Amino acid sequence: MYTQALNTSDADDRNVEDAARAAAFQARIDADERIEPNDWMPAAYRKTLTRQISQHAHSEIVGMLPEGNWITRAPTLRRKAALLAKVQDECGHGLYLYAAAETLGTSREELVDAMLTGKAKYSLIFNYPTLTWADIGTIGWLVDGAAIMNQIPLCRCSYGPYARAMIRVCKEESFHQRQGFEIMLTLCRGTDEQKAMAQDALNRWWWPVLMMFGPPDKVSQHSDTSTKWKIKRFSNDELRQKFVDATVPQAQFLGLTIPDSEMKQDEAGHWVPGPIDWDEFKQVLAGNGPCNRDRLAARRKAHDEGAWVREAAAAYAEKRKRRQFAQAAE
């Protein structure tokens, strides 16, 4: 669904790279050429992308949990089918993002293992709970909306497999976003209880969604390399502002109040949010969000309980290969 700007750097690794090849590489980037898996690339570029794409993949997979929490309770058969299909889409996104990350030379097993052991991160937004049906609408409307803001520029990312994956992901995400908004619209046109449910969900998700864009530019030290490599094309604050400007009129249309008493419209027409609680961001990132432990436990449980199935499939494939080999030898 969305990979978060964690802003760690591997700049030191670049010292060991051959300067001439690095210069030629940068020239290709500057000329807006796509880098493909078999092309030479600096080790730090490879490492940055592996981390970013795999974090994005982990986010898709962990992101199945909060929404999956409502599949069995969806209020109509149409909503149930749409939600199941949506969560299945997230799974598909995870799959082809892992495949894109694998083109950089790390296996899916290793990447998943890094997530399960807590070494690799996923988007902090999925560490918040889905308490009511309105949360499903809000996730589609805001979380997928924020994801789209981040991912549209990634369709032009310098790394070919990632950029191509993003084109497909973005198409599906924009469908999810409209679906989420439509859930909210139905609630807001519904009973008083439903409208209160919608407002409550917005109150709980608004600030975490703004944090999805990562720390403010003034403390974000490591975007430079990603920008130079055309992995990142807009700063965290630029994307956050675009998102807020797009979302405020939508909230007004729904008749919902954004839970920010300090938000003001500036002279240029931008909606400027009040201060974001970055301590909360740090706490959730450090593993102290409301659902961090539950999410990892659920993923580990699925992984552990599925081990015998994966072993059986591998054992059967091996037996079959041996039999075919024996047959061919006869």
Partner 1 sequence: MTIANIQVSETPLVLYTLRRADDALILGHRLSEWCGHAPTLEEDMALANMGLDLLGQARELYSYAAKLEGKDNDEDKFAYLRDVRQYRNLLLVEQPNGDFGRTMVRQFFHAAFADLYWRAMMQSKDATLAAIGAKSEKESAYHLRHSSEWIIRLGDGTEESHRRAQTAIEDLWSFTGEMFAVDDSERGLIDAGIAVDPALLHPQWLKTITAVVDEATLRLPASNWMQQGGRSGRHSEHLGHVLSELQSLQRTFPGATW
Check binding of 193 to partner 1 (CB under 8 A).
Answer: yes
- In the bound complex, what is the minimum distance in angstroms from residue 99's beta carbon to partner 1? 10
Nearer to partner 1, 79 or 121 (CB): 79
H helices of the chain, in order, are 19-30, 43-68, 77-102, 108-116, 133-138, 144-154, 160-188, 192-211, 223-228, 236-254, 278-283, 292-305, 307-329
Q: Are 56 and 119 in contact (CB under 8 A)?
A: no
What residues from 99 to 158 belong to the interface with partner 1 (CB under 8 A)? Answer: 133
Check binding of 298 to partner 1 (CB under 8 A).
Answer: yes
Q: Are 286 and 272 in contact (CB under 8 A)?
A: no
- In the bound complex, what is the minimum distance in angstroms from residue 298's beta carbon to partner 1? 7
- Mapped onto helix, strand or coil, the DSSP state of residue 71 is helix
Q: Which stretch binds partner 1 (CB under 8 A): 123-131, 170-178, 231-239, 309-317?
A: 309-317
Question: CA–CA separation, 197 vs 126, rounded Å?
Answer: 20
Three-state DSSP string of 227-255 = HHCCCCCCCHHHHHHHHHHHHHHHHHHHC
Check binding of 91 to partner 1 (CB under 8 A).
Answer: yes
Instruction: Give the closest residue to 156 by CA, choosing from 97, 95, 107, 229.
Output: 229
**Widest CA span of the chain, in angstroms?**
83
Q: Which stretch binds partner 1 (CB under 8 A): 21-29, 65-73, 214-222, 278-286?
A: 65-73
Neighbour count for residue 107 (Cβ, 10 Å): 11
Question: CA–CA separation, 165 vs 152, rounded Å?
Answer: 11
Nearer to partner 1, 80 or 242 (CB): 80
- Residues comprising the chain, all counted: 330
Compose the 234-273 pattern: x for residues touching partner 1 by CB under 8 A, - for all others.
Answer: ----------------------------------------
Residue from 11, 263, 297, 302 touching partner 1 (CB under 8 A): that is 302
Q: Are 296 and 114 in contact (CB under 8 A)?
A: no
Residue from 46, 53, 54, 68 touching partner 1 (CB under 8 A): that is 68
Nearer to partner 1, 192 or 330 (CB): 192
Residue from 18, 311, 321, 324 touching partner 1 (CB under 8 A): that is 311
Residues 6 or more apart whose Cβ sits within 8 Å of residue 82: 74, 179
- In the bound complex, what is the minimum distance in angstroms from residue 256's beta carbon to partner 1? 17
Q: Which stretch binds partner 1 (CB under 8 A): 7-15, 166-174, 222-230, 295-303?
A: 295-303
Residue from 19, 20, 32, 76 touching partner 1 (CB under 8 A): that is 76
Check binding of 85 to partner 1 (CB under 8 A).
Answer: yes
Site residues, partner 1 (CB under 8 A): 61, 64-65, 68, 71-81, 84-85, 87-88, 91-92, 94-95, 98, 133, 186-187, 189-191, 193-194, 298, 301-302, 305-313, 315-316, 319
